[in-house]
Structure 1
């Protein structure tokens, strides 16, 4: 059993008994110093800074109590939260993320892209099922774990689009736009943002129709999750 496995085996049950979840353990070099990083969350709700401060002593005591000592040299202990963009590595991580939006970096591209953001619908023995948008249409995709280079929780869902930077980020994603006045009989538009410039946004709706929405007519625009 390597160092990370030993630390996980020691910490996981002790933290679970106190209502905490051991998300991950990392043991790596940082600025020529070894760092043991434990990523911990609450099983229910969000972990606080006060929680992390209290857990630092507990984690330190538990790790120091591992016999025989598995560490070949001194190290710095870091007790932290996994964060909003936490990595998904184990099947249990994906099970925790069910019903949420995740970002996947694929080893080979699908529909011309090696990255996709989708809603995690189901975990399988050897992979996952996600729902994601392609040309403003939702479709389900089964991805094996072998096809995934990396995965993490998606951030900035339902982001308001104000600047060109926001729009560039939202390109090829689903957006929702509300206008001050009716355009072609409607004031709300939804679809994939395929292009934009200083004058307009270009959106393709679920029916495949291309819509041009003048930017000076937009009351509110946001990227929306699936």
Structure 2
């Protein structure tokens, strides 16, 4: 996580929680000539457009006051969607029994991408049950090898 996203997360966490939402992800990226600050929020039962509007207004107020980003940027507050990323430990725990997509820094058994049911999580590893053609195979993955992991609706 970059210094900007860490600072923004620290600033926005209390604002989002005060609204009864969960701060899922903070992303600060440059696309072409423009910078985007993307903040994903969630709540039990899901986020709707009015939730995003309220959160965006409150986040804008605190960001204007704290001013942690020197460049001009577009603020985008949204739901993490059905394929939300797993970033925090509780995200991993909550995803047990659900299907995940895992992209690795280096291949395991010749593949850098795996899709399967997340069976278990430890401090250092995850275990997924991946479907390979007509059979299932359990794959243990060192968490240091994970480049990206998210829920997936595809299996």
Q: Structure 2 length normalisation: TM-score? A: 0.86
Is 1:97 matched with 2:98?
no
Give 1:8 shift: 0.7
Q: Rg larger in 1 or in 2?
A: 1
Q: Indicate the residue corresponding to 1:29 in structure 2.
A: 30
> Could you say if the C-alpha distance between residues 134 and 47 of structure 1 is closer, same or farther in structure 2, counting changes exceeding 3 Å?
same
1:166-215 deviation per Cα after TM superposition (whole angstroms, max 9, x unaligned): xxxxxxxxxxxxxxxxxxxxxxxxxxxxxxxxxxxxxxxxxxxxxxxxxx
- SS of the equivalent of 1:107 reads strand
1:22-46 deviation per Cα after TM superposition (whole angstroms, max 9, x unaligned): 111111112312211111111x111
Is 1:76 matched with 2:77?
no
Question: Structure 2: how far apart are the matches of 1:30 and 1:76?
Answer: 11
Greater RCO (Cα-Cα under 8 Å, separation 6 or more): 2
Q: Indicate the residue corresponding to 1:55 in structure 2.
A: 55
Contact 1:35 1:76 in 2 (8 A): yes
Question: Structure 2: how far apart are the matches of 1:14 and 1:59?
Answer: 7
Deviant stretches of 4+, over 6 Å: none
Q: How many residues align?
A: 154
Question: Structure 1: how far apart are the matches of 2:146 and 2:38?
Answer: 24
- SS of the equivalent of 2:13 reads helix
Question: Structure 1: how far apart are the matches of 2:116 and 2:127?
Answer: 9
Is 1:130 matched with 2:128?
yes
Question: Structure 2: how far apart are the matches of 1:120 and 1:141?
Answer: 10
Give 1:116 shift: 1.5
